[in-house]
Every structure is written in C-alpha cells, then in structure tokens.
C-alpha cells in the first residue's frame, strides 16, 4: 500500500529538523566551551613564558627557581627523560622543533589542558609542558549540551505533533473531495463545483470535470440516438396502425382479416417497444442528473393512470381496482407517470382472464409507497433480481414483451432515491411490485 501524503510530509520534515536540533546543540556546546578553553590557553601561555624565564642551568643541570602553583609542569630533555616537575604529566607530541602544541590530557583522574613547546638551552633542547585544570567548564558544558539536546528533541516532538495535526487539517479538503466522489453512483456524472475546492486542487477538479463532461457527452449521445430513433419509429407506426384499423373494417378485407389482425398485433408490439425505448432513454440516471422534482400527489397520479387502463382490463376480463390514499412525494411527474404505466401494463399483460389487478398508494413505516399487485403466475424468488435487468424475460413467459418494463421502473426509482421491491401477492400467489420513496 502506498504511504500517505501526511506520513511522507512528517518524515521529510522530521529528518532535517532532527539534524538542525543536533547542530544547534553542538553550536551551543562549542559556544560555551571555546571561550573557556581560550582563557585557559592564554593562562598557559603566560605560565610557559614565566617558567622559561625561571629556568637555570648549572653545569648541565636544569633547575626551576619557582613556578605558579596553579599550573603543573614537567621539563624533559630531547630523549624524553624527566628533568623537573610532575612525572605524570606526559609531553604532548610535537610535530617539529621550535613549535608548540595544545592538548587535553588525563592526569590522576582529571582532564587537564596542556601546552608543550621546545626551548633551546646551553645544555641542549628541552621540552617543557605546562598544564592547568579546565575547572567546571567541561562538565558544565557537557551538561548544557545534553540538556539542550534533550530540550531540542522535546520541542521537535511537539513540533512534529503540531505539524501532523496541521497536515491532517490541511488535507481535509482532499478527503472531502474523495468522500464526495466515493459517495456518487457510477451513473452520477455531475461536474465538481470548482469554487468549493482549494486553489491547489482546482487543476485536479478541472481535469476531472473535463473527464466527466466527456463521459456525459458519450452517454447523452447514446441516449439521444435511442430517443430520436424511438421518435422516428413512433410516427410511421401510428400511421400504419390507423390504416390497418380502417382496412380491417372494410368488407373486402374479411377473407384476410385473420392475417391483418396478426399484423396489427405485431405493429402494436413494435409501437409499444418504441415507446419503452423512449421511456428508457428518458429514465436513464446518467442523463437525468438534475431531475426537476416537485411535490406531487402520488395517489392522484395513480388514479388517473389506472382510469386509462379500465377499458383494456374489461376487454381482457380482468378486475382492475385501486386502493389509493393521498400521499405526497418529491418527484418528476412525467417520470412518475412512466413508472406507474409500466407497472400496470406488466400486471395486465401477465394476469390471466378472471384475475385481479390492484393499484395502491399510502405510507408504511413513514415512507410513501406505490404498489401494483396481481393474481398472475408470479415471479420465482430466484428470478426477482434478474427481471430488473434490461431485455430479460422469464422463461416460458406469455406474450411478446421486450423485457424493459421493470428495468424502466428500476431506473426511475434510482433517480428518485426510491427502493423497488418485488414479492408475492397477499395470498402467496401472484406478484406484488412496490416502490418505496424516501
């Protein structure tokens, strides 16, 4: 899994900040130690000058008349043999004759600052070493160094925590954009509102909007083709049906009336399929991004549509009833009419003669619903998800349906955030299809 941006930012900030904290502690340490060491070095130079003046050589023997008690010393010949002073004080290695060298040396459990230098005398060259204690400069400086380093890293930890919180808050717009896109359905191609995203995310939002616009254009072109085709088919089909109706009524056409009736049925089925294709094109959520919803009376619309099917029900020897309660929903009236039309049409088509079809509206658990129940053969439970698919029909289904009715109902329900339920009738037989609105 790829590392998060916030963790990467904290890591790349932690490394340089840690180095800066260490460098700061070192600068503070050497800033405190260096002046004290310089002061000791200056005292050693004065002590070395005084000691050189107090050297006396008598018959090849070197003697020191007196020395500063605060300064320890050792005098050695060129072979390194101790002539005078403290034997524990070792000479600092000198690179060349005539030069001086400073060093910090351990003596008796202490660390002394030492200065060694050459002195040419009548008895030969001598190596003189003077040393003085650094006092509290070393321990104090080390304590200061450690305390400063500890405090710097405490500050660093607090800084990184604040940086982490700041990064999390700063990246919140990215999370909001991600959540907005994640909550959308695959058919929701609305553009992202660029004014609602930070300036840094505006190019990303613009690129996504261009992609969404291309997808919308492709889907709309496809739907427009279907709609145009359905429109072009509907007009000539209606004319053909009118001419056939007149032809069937002619006495001269009686010998071929049966064939003409078959032709009528086929053209009516073609007209029905064209109308369903048009409805499906209008119901596709991809081209209904901004549905014009308004408060409508679901019961009143269902009553009007049920009334249109009364003649058809009588001709088919079916009892078409209605149990309608006034209930208001937020919906597109034209799409809602298409939904009810398809449910009633399906119920009348598949219910055998002598059966019942009931259209009902009301509320259940506080949610408005529309239901169409019939006493037909019913839909097996294993097929209730598949019948929602386009162009799918149950095996051995009567008639010549196109398999689009429930697919159209499903699409319109999705547009209105409603839930389509398919079950058995009240007596356990037949089919009850209901749409529950939010």
Residues 6+ apart with CB under 8 A from 147: none
Which has more pLDDT, 67 or 168?
A: 168
Mean pLDDT taken over the chain: 77
Residues 6+ apart with CB under 8 A from 204: 177, 197
Which has more pLDDT, 421 or 216?
A: 421
Q: Each residue of 212-271: pLDDT tens digit? A: 888 877 777 776 776 677 667 777 877 887 888 888 788 877 888 788 888 888 887 777
Q: Which of 6-10, 200-204, 267-271, 347-351 has the highest mean pLDDT?
A: 347-351
Please, which pLDDT band fits residue 436 given cuts at 50, 70 and 90? very high
Question: Residue 334 — φ and ψ, nearest 5°?
Answer: -65, -40
CB 164 within 8 A of CB 10: yes
Does residue 367 form part of some domain? Answer: yes
The CATH number of residue 120's host domain is 3.30.450
Does residue 193 form part of some domain? Answer: no
Q: Each residue of 109-165: pLDDT tens digit? A: 777 788 888 777 766 777 878 887 765 555 665 666 677 667 777 877 788 788 777
| pLDDT at residue 368 in the model | 92
Q: Each residue of 378-399: pLDDT tens digit? A: 888 888 888 888 777 777 676 6
Whether 285 has a pLDDT exceeding 70, the answer reads no
Q: Note the pTM of the prediction, 2 decimals.
A: 0.51
CB 112 within 8 A of CB 137: no
Does residue 423 form part of some domain? Answer: yes
DSSP β-ladder status, 55-58 and 356-364: unpaired
Which has more pLDDT, 1 or 176?
A: 176
Least confident of 58-62, 257-261, 370-374: 58-62
CA distance 25 to 125: 44
Does residue 266 form part of some domain? Answer: no
Looking at the structure of the chain, the number of domains it has is 2
Asked which of 102, 118, 150 is the last residue of a domain, the reply is 150
Q: By C-alpha distance, which of 138, 207, 136, 197 is closest to 171?
A: 197
Strands (DSSP E) contained in 225-300 are: 294-297
Question: What does the pLDDT average to over 393-414?
Answer: 77
Least confident of 24-28, 121-125, 162-166, 290-294: 290-294
| pLDDT at residue 29 in the model | 63
**Residue 366, phi-psi category: left (phi > 0), alpha (psi -120 to 50), beta (remainder):** left
**How many CB atoms are closer than 10 A to CB 91?**
19
CA distance 112 to 92: 12
Does residue 391 form part of some domain? Answer: yes
Using DSSP, state whether 172 is helix, strand or coil: helix
DSSP β-bridge partners for residue 76: 82, 127
Asked which of 93, 120, 150 is the last residue of a domain, the reply is 150
Domain residues for the domain of 338 are: 291-436
User: What letter would DSSP give residue 156?
Assistant: H
| pLDDT at residue 144 in the model | 63
Which has more pLDDT, 150 or 305?
A: 305
Asked which of 99, 118, 150 is the last residue of a domain, the reply is 150
CB 132 within 8 A of CB 23: no
The CATH number of residue 398's host domain is 3.30.565.10
Does residue 206 form part of some domain? Answer: no
Whether 48 has a pLDDT exceeding 60, the answer reads yes
Using DSSP, state whether 59 is helix, strand or coil: coil
Does residue 301 form part of some domain? Answer: yes
CA distance 297 to 333: 9
- DSSP per-residue codes, 113-134: EEEEEEEEETTEEEEEEEEEE-
Question: What does the pLDDT average to over 3-32?
Answer: 72
Least confident of 26-35, 68-77, 129-138, 174-183: 26-35
Please, which pLDDT band fits residue 369 given cuts at 50, 70 and 90? very high
Q: Each residue of 68-92: pLDDT tens digit? A: 556 777 787 777 777 777 777 777 7
Radius of gyration of the chain (CA): 50
Does residue 276 form part of some domain? Answer: no
Whether 305 has a pLDDT exceeding 70, the answer reads yes
């Amino acid at each position: 899994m790829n590392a998060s941006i916030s963790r990467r930012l904290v890591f790349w900030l932690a490394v340089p900040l840690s180095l800066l904290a260490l460098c700061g502690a070192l600068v503070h340490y050497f800033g405190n130690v260096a002046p004290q060491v310089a002061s000791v070095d200056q005292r050693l130079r004065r002590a070395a000058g005084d000691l050189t003046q107090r050297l006396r050589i008598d018959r090849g023997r070197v003697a020191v008349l007196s020395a500063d008690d605060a300064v320890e010393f050792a005098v050695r010949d060129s072979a390194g043999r101790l002539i005078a002073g403290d034997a524990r004080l070792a000479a600092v290695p000198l690179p060349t004759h005539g030069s001086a060298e400073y060093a910090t040396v351990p003596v008796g459990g202490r660390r002394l600052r030492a200065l060694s230098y050459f002195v040419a005398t009548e008895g030969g060259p001598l190596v003189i070493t003077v040393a003085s204690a650094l006092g509290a400069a070393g321990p104090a400086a080390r304590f200061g160094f450690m305390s400063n380093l500890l405090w710097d890293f405490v500050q660093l930890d607090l800084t990184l925590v604040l940086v982490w919180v700041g990064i999390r808050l700063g990246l919140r717009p990215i999370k909001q954009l991600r959540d907005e896109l994640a909550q959308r359905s695959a058919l929701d191609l609305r553009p992202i509102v660029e004014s609602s995203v930070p300036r840094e995310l505006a190019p990303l939002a613009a690129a996504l909007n261009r992609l969404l616009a291309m997808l919308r254009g492709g889907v709309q072109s496809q739907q427009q083709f279907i709609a145009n085709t359905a429109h072009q088919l509907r007009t000539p089909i209606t004319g053909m049906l009118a001419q056939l109706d007149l032809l069937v009524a002619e006495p001269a056409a009686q010998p071929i009336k049966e064939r003409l009736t078959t032709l009528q049925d086929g053209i009516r089925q073609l007209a029905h399929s064209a109308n369903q294709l048009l409805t499906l094109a209008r119901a596709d959520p991809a081209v209904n991004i901004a549905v014009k919803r308004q408060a409508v009376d679901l019961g009143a619309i269902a009553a009007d549509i049920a009334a249109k099917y009364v003649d058809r029900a009588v001709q088919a020897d079916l009892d078409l009833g209605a149990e309608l309660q006034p209930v208001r929903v937020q919906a597109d009236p034209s799409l809602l009419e298409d939904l009810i039309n398809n449910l009633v049409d399906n119920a009348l088509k598949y219910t055998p003669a002598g059966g019942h079809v009931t259209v009902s509206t009301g509320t259940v658990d506080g949610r408005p619903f529309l239901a169409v129940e019939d006493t037909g053969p019913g839909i097996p439970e294993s097929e209730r998800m598949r019948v929602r698919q386009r162009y799918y029909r149950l095996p051995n289904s009567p008639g010549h349906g196109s398999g689009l009715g429930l697919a159209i109902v499903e699409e319109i329900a999705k547009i209105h955030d409603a839930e389509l339920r398919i079950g058995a009738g009240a007596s356990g037989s037949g089919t009850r299809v209901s749409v529950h609105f939010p």
